[in-house]
A and B are shown apart, each in its own frame.
Chain A
Amino acid sequence: MKKTEIDKNNVLLETKNLTKSFGGIHAIEDVSLYINKAMINALIGPNGAGKTTLFNCITGFYPPTKGRILFNDEDITGLKPHQITETGMARTFQNIRLFAEMTVMENVLTGSQCRYRMNILSAILNDKRTRDEEREISKRALKYLRFTGISKFANHISRNLSYGDQRRLELARALATEPKLLLLDEPAAGMNSNETKGLMELIRKIRDEDITILLIEHDMRMVMNIADTITVLDHGIKIAEGTPKEVQKNEKVIEAYLGRRRQTA
């Protein structure tokens, strides 16, 4: 049976009173949340709620103004993005950020090489150990290209892929770093309904590989369909969390979404 409650004994990621301010404006304020292992956790909220900012804090791109981040019971606050990747976190970006001039394969190789040493001398000498490692790196890259269903494009320049396939490639590249936690920033943005369906299947498949997912998404149907837990941000503040059913009924959430809609209308 699938667990759908937030279980404080099964926590992979925890933020404690996380605050990030940009010159007096609190993009996120005092956010404390738990992310459970091997679940699909959604993070929702109106535009400008601070979702991406929260991602940037967790993955080390922004140093938090206040608060702490615990990952696997280790304090990772203040680590650099590449160190955080090494601890087992990977992310995608709201605006696709591929290595545009590289081939699809090379993009994923860049991800999968992160668990191997980088040494000038062995690069120049290209000794047996280095070649063996290089073979393992390609093996892994290929595994993720197949997993995400884009292995047929292995030798294409990545900028020439369709939008949906670029999103998949970004996913493959993130998976290739072998994360325990995968943060996806609006992976379905700009996809048609068919592509979105495929993506949902893929996300479930990733969860079944025991990779925990934290997902920002605006497509409510998708979120309600796929998420085990949902956290709602509004104006940088966490206003609700729980199962999709609980969140759907929550007054504050309804107000945040409807209130905003009334304003913009």
Chain B
Amino acid sequence: MMQDIKKWAIGSLWLFILTIPFLGIINGLYLLVSLIALAILYLIYKSFEQGISDIQYKIFQLSIPSIRWPLYSVIAILVIILPFISDPYITNVGTSALTYIVLALGLNIVVGFAGLLDLGYVAFYAVGAYFYALLSIKAGLSFWAVLPLSAIMAAIFGILLGFPTLRLRGDYLAIVTLGFGEMIRITLNNWDSLTGGPNGILGIRGPDMLGLSFSQPYHYYYLIIIIGIFTVFVVNRLNNSRIGRAWIAIREDEIAAEAMGINIVKMKLLAFALGAFFAGMAGAFFAGKMKFVSPESFTFFESVIILCMVVLGGMGSILGVILGAVVLIILPESLRGFQNYRMIIFGGAMAAMMLFRPQGIIGNIKRRLELHPEDEKILKQETESLYDVEKR
């Protein structure tokens, strides 16, 4: 508790001093006051924490599966009817949120599962977008034909850029991937004859279907829902497979993973490739929707936002990453007025997250279960089903 207060005080002071140059002393003091208010709220929260975590646990218990499926169904229905109960602006925000969900789930494979800190992820988004843009403009190919090709192209880039980084870990890996990300952007920016340089590529054909060409926001909204469902399905299956286990083993301890017979070179390249695959798909979708691509859309900042979504929601947790993406897209949209302070809010939120809840919003459900050993019903059921396996 004392430790938390100290962390908070130092953090607030640091943010205050850091922001003086652009907020000024007066505004800075407001910030400081609001941070102190937040701290008090946090202390109140803390003092009820045991109770809250008990409530959380009860909710979690109920959610298997009697509440979970109805809850998911309600959310699913809301998502599906969104364009009919709102305006095109909201539909566009939804489309954007879903695009980022696809991106974040892809990055989650690399960062969350395999534990490889990739700061250049946006490069694969760019590869997918430009690949479709070029094939559409130069070869006149249709969106549907190029969508899978873009994903595969990005996956190939994932392998190519992943290969030299295989021996790197942690900070070094982050720096090199950051460099690769910038390399791709700078190449796109300067290769005028192919990519149009900073002007980008205009007049990309949008997708069409049964003679109907996509024009309304909700057309794209439903398309990205389908891509999103595909992504969640595949990532979830991978997570629960031998491959997912191998990735997490590498994240937890590379050397022990090798000793367990895991080919870490292959598994890391597979993580890079599959992560990039989904970015490539999202990229092709983005190009088809905007009908315009330029290097400006693929800056380092994009990589950072996507990484924030993964970290905020809870690395490795699919539900967490989806939540993270939704929060980070919808929050800034609803805080339009604070446009200028967006980065500060972002940075502050991430720093606070790392200090106070490093496991992310969702965290690890397994651990939460374990913290309540008195309530071992679910654990027992799980174990029993394991023993059943043996009897068969």
- The interface of chain A, by Cβ under 8 A from chain B, is 59, 61, 80-82, 85-86, 90-91, 93, 97-103, 105-106, 109-111, 113-114, 116, 118, 120, 123-126, 130, 134-135, 137-139, 142-143, 154-157, 160, 173-174, 177
Contacts and interface: CB of A to CB of B under 8 A. Distances in A.
Contacts of B41: none
Contacts of A101: 248, 252, 364
Interface in B150-203: none
Interface stretch (B72-80, B118-126, B134-142, B381-389): B381-389
A123 B109 CA distance: 14
B367 A123 contact: no
A97 B256 contact: yes
B382 A113 contact: no
A173 B261 CA distance: 11
Q: Kindly name the residue among B253, B270, B387 whose own CB sees the greatest number of chain A CB atoms within 10 A.
A: B253
Given A118-B243, A137-B242, A157-B370, 4 more contacts: A99-B253, A103-B366, A124-B241, A155-B370
Contact of A120 (B243, B258, B389): B243
A90 B256 CA distance: 10
A110 B370 contact: no
A82 B250 CA distance: 13
Contacts of A116: 242
B245 A86 contact: no
B243 A123 contact: yes
B260 interface: yes
Contacts of B392: 135
Contact of B252 (A102, A142, A154): A102
B371 to A, nearest CB: 10
Interface residues of B, number: 38
A111 B387 CA distance: 19
Contacts of A98: 252-253, 256
Q: Kindly name the residue among A82, A103, A120 whose own CB sees the greatest number of chain B CB atoms within 10 A.
A: A82
B246 interface: yes
B255 A155 contact: no
A55 B243 CA distance: 28
Nearest to B391: A139
A101 B383 CA distance: 18
Contacts of B264: 82
B246 A157 contact: no
A99 B389 CA distance: 24
A135 B389 contact: yes
Nearest to B250: A99
Contact of B389 (A85, A103, A124, A142): A142
Interface string B352-392: 00000000000010110110000000010011001101101
A85 B255 CA distance: 12
Contact of A82 (B252, B261, B370, B389): B261
A126 B237 contact: yes
B148 to A, nearest CB: 14
Contacts of A120: 238, 243, 270, 274
A99 B248 contact: yes
A19 B259 CA distance: 22
B152 to A, nearest CB: 13
B234 interface: yes
A82 B263 contact: yes
Say whether chain B's binding surface is mostly helix, strand, loop, or mixed: helix
Q: Kindly name the residue among A120, A154, A174 whose own CB sees the greatest number of chain B CB atoms within 10 A.
A: A120
Interface of B: 234, 237-238, 241-246, 248-249, 252-253, 255-264, 270, 274, 364, 366-367, 369-370, 379, 382-383, 386-387, 389-390, 392
Say whether chain A's binding surface is mostly helix, strand, loop, or mixed: helix
Given A139-B389, A154-B383, A118 B260 contact: no
Contacts of A130: 241
Contacts of B261: 82, 85-86, 111, 114, 177
Contacts of A93: 255-256, 259
7 contacts: A61-B258, A81-B258, A85-B261, A102-B248, A110-B245, A118-B246, A126-B237
A30 to B, nearest CB: 26
B245 A109 contact: yes
A85 B264 CA distance: 13
A103 B364 CA distance: 11
A143 B386 CA distance: 11
Contacts of A103: 366
A157 to B, nearest CB: 6
B248 A90 contact: no
Contacts of A157: 364, 366-367, 370
B260 A160 contact: no
Contact of B386 (A100, A142, A156): A142
A137 B386 CA distance: 11
B54 to A, nearest CB: 20
A106 B245 contact: yes
A110 B389 contact: no
A162 to B, nearest CB: 15
B262 A123 contact: no
Contact of A91 (B259, B369, B382, B386): B259
B252 A100 contact: yes
B262 A114 contact: yes
Contacts of A111: 260-261
Contact of B379 (A125, A126, A138, A155): A155
Q: Kindly name the residue among B238, B259, B367 whose own CB sees the greatest number of chain A CB atoms within 10 A.
A: B259
B237 A82 contact: no
Given A99-B253, A160-B370, A85 B270 contact: no
Contacts of A81: 258-259
B246 A110 contact: yes
Contacts of A109: 245
A154 B238 contact: no
A92 to B, nearest CB: 8
A61 B255 contact: yes
